[in-house]
Amino acid sequence: MKKEFKEKAKSLVDSMTLEEAASQIRYDSPAIERLGIPAYNWWNEGLHGLARAGTATVFPQAIALASMFDKEMLQKIGDVIATETRAKYNESRKLGDRDIYKGITLWSPNINIFRDARWGRGQETYGEDPYLTGRLGVAFIKGLQGAGKYLKTAACAKHYAVHSGPEATRHGFDAKANQKDIEETYTAAFYDAVKEADVAGVMGAYNRVNGEPACTSSELVKQRLRNDWGFDGYFVSDFLALMDIHGDHHVTSNVFETCALALKATCDVNAGIAYQSMMEAYDQGLVTEEEIRNAAISAYTIRAALGMFDDDCEYDSIGIESIDTDESAELSYQASVNATVLLKNDGILPLKKDEIKTVAVIGPTATSIAVLEGNYNGTSSRYVTNLEGVRNAVAPGTRVLYSEGSHLFGDKVQNLAMDDDRLSEAETVAKASDVVILYVGLDPSIEGEQGDTGNAFAGGDKISLYLLEPQRRLVDRVVSTGKPVILVCNTGSAMDLSAESEKCNAVIQSWYSGQAGGQAVADIIFGDAVPGGKLPVTFYKDETQPPMDDYSMKGRTYRYFDGDVVYPFGYGLSYSTFEYYDLSITENGAIITVKNTGNVKADEIAELYIDKMPAEKLENGLNTDISDLDKLLDPSNQPKYSLAGFERVTLEPGEFKVIQFDFNSRLFSTVLENGKRVNLKGKYKIYVGGQQPDTRSKELTGNDCLEGEIIL
């Protein structure tokens, strides 16, 4: 943070009594009237739109935004969120409204790694890959924080660290992770957020990590984050996480000891109630005045950087007219289109409008607003459900028939009815139609954060990757009519759609698709838009995941999983075709030409992967100055290959573009068993194409990646 903001913060905190300073490191900081400082609530959310404070633009859920593989668009979305957040803050404070979710400190993005497909909060992340998560996280943070004299909003990277389920036991769970996985996977995106995006805040996780509570970890917070990376923003606990330290983790005996442990670990702001006891901890001699004031200075540096104590902040004039604009709505719609992933198409798509007289829209997510919103969402004034999208997209005169088909998860829709009380209607509607669009999936009441869902038996996590049983029966009943079926899946996570893919003519992953999600997917189905998203997570077969509480990366994500998958990371179909050629590789980067060889304008995502540990590299020998290299380098515990570049391009039919991927030493670094990141001499294999270089992607697309080598 700039020196002037730190000096401003210190001046303000120096003018406070100790008790006043202690009150300002609570998330619900009270007013200090004698100093003219108003109350401020730190807790606000902006995961995929300004959340929980009324009307705002609702973008697709974060996992959907990740499937765009588009840094530039994500930064634009971050900027819109920051604008609407500023507008809400400015208008609220004019009326003396200092409530929760009205501030300009956003506790977003969630840059945890989606390492287990069952994790309910995986929908909030950018997927399973550290590089993709890091690039998208940096772009989003830059969008939120802006490039002005002041921060437009203060972003906060969460949940630091080694956190991705299980939800049901997170308050007392100890995540055991080796140093290699911590460095290579769990903290990599946080490093990018700190070192590249200069993120204002970092939030600690609920769980312990190797015995230490994440919010007070000497290894993760004091050593890695503060000392090694030089993070000088504010560190905040997750809500009530500090109370877990004595209540569930039993690391301390009471709240006073917890206050001391947290403060000494440089936890500057407490989301929760623990720091209400800070002065009692001081009276007991557990914390010092200097420690309290230092935390308050850290917090106030952020508030100063946001322009809260100055009259010339360039964002103070943003008002209500900047919320829910036509421009932000169009951006949300385009994000929904770009995020949609076409998983299967036997040639049925896009549908020819003039040949369709009757369309059946069936399924429990067809009229759902919840599947547009995802979790941590705002409220849109412009929702277009899946059913409404189809009605808007069909040709005039086309009949649209609708049936709910089944309950989302229950055996019946009406309590007094027999089981499967909507199946006969679904069959009737299907038989009367030329084509069926079948909308299935989950919603945030089933998968999500513990406490936010009705899925109490699993704390918001899934217990299976299959569609829920009532929906599977619905699919079978509809398919049995013999009518063409297009399956659209609204979920925030990967599903085992292997059975449905065999039975249906087309399969679309629509995620939690944003306020215009229903329109976006309908436009894709009827050819008014072209799909171009790629999967940011692997779609596994059910029961192929290690135990959820096992935090080893072995057997997880495309980098370490060796089994058969339904749909691979980086995969997605288009209505067009693309050719890759003229791959050139130097030590500074790679250049590739991509051409649209199809008949429609379309987006393509070019992906570059590096094999960091090929067998021939070991035979050539490695740096001899690394002591105990044989013990520290286990070739069987290295990624098969890793994403190291991606670019989204739009191409007209016949058009080509040259794409350049820039290299840096970190891309080629190998993480040893002790967590040390080193650059090893040898030969590296490079893969470039519209997919990852795996056999399943080739089987699904018929395409190979281009290959090259570089010696470093």
**Catalytic residue numbers, as ranges:** 238, 447
Q: Beta strand 358-362 with 435-441: parallel, antiparallel or unpaired?
A: parallel
Q: Which amino acid is at 598?
A: G
DSSP character at residue 573 = B
Residue for token pair 């299907």: 430
Q: Give the separation between CA 391 and CA 401, rounded to whole angstroms.
A: 10
For residue 161, say if its preceding peptide bond is cis, omega within 30 degrees of 0.
Answer: yes
Q: In what order do the strands lie in the sheet with 683-689?
A: 642-651, 602-611, 683-689, 706-711
- Cβ-contact 358, 398 below 8 angstroms: yes
Q: Residue 264: which H helix or E strand, with range?
A: helix 255-264
Q: What is the DSSP string of 133-170?
A: HHHHHHHHHHHHH-SSSS-SSB-EEEEESS----STTT
Q: Give the separation between CA 156 and CA 151, rounded to whole angstroms.
A: 12
Query: Angle at the Cα of 463 (from 457 to 465), degrees rounded to 5?
Result: 145
Q: What is the DSSP string of 312-333?
A: --TTTT--GGGSS-HHHHHHHH
Q: In what order do the strands lie in the sheet with 578-586?
A: 578-586, 589-596, 656-662
- Cβ-contact 622, 633 below 8 angstroms: yes
Both tokens of 280, joined, read 């009692």
Q: Give the separation between CA 634 and CA 613, rounded to whole angstroms.
A: 10
Residue ranges of E strands in 287-398? 341-345, 358-362
Q: Which amino acid is at 18?
A: L
511: left (phi over 0), alpha (psi -120 to 50) or beta: left
Residue for token pair 């200090």: 32
Nearest Cα residue to 468 out of 385, 411, 386: 411
> How many CB atoms are located within 10 Å of the residue 482 CB?
8
Nearest Cα residue to 133 out of 107, 151, 159, 166: 159
Nearest Cα residue to 324 out of 130, 502, 87, 508: 87
Q: Give the separation between CA 583 and CA 688, rounded to whole angstroms.
A: 8
Residue ranges of E strands in 521-625? 539-540, 565-567, 578-586, 589-596, 602-611
Count of residues making up the chain: 712
Which alpha helices (DSSP H) does 45-119 contain, by range?
Answer: 62-66, 71-94
Q: How far is CA 532 from CA 297, 499, 605, in A?
A: 46, 24, 8
SS3 content of the chain, % helix, strand, coil (to 5): 35, 20, 50
Q: Give the separation between CA 490 and CA 499, rounded to whole angstroms.
A: 17
- Cβ-contact 243, 274 below 8 angstroms: yes
- Residue 175's DSSP bridge partners are 209
Q: Which amino acid is at 569?
A: F
Q: Which amino acid is at 49?
A: G
Nearest Cα residue to 595 out of 614, 576, 571: 576
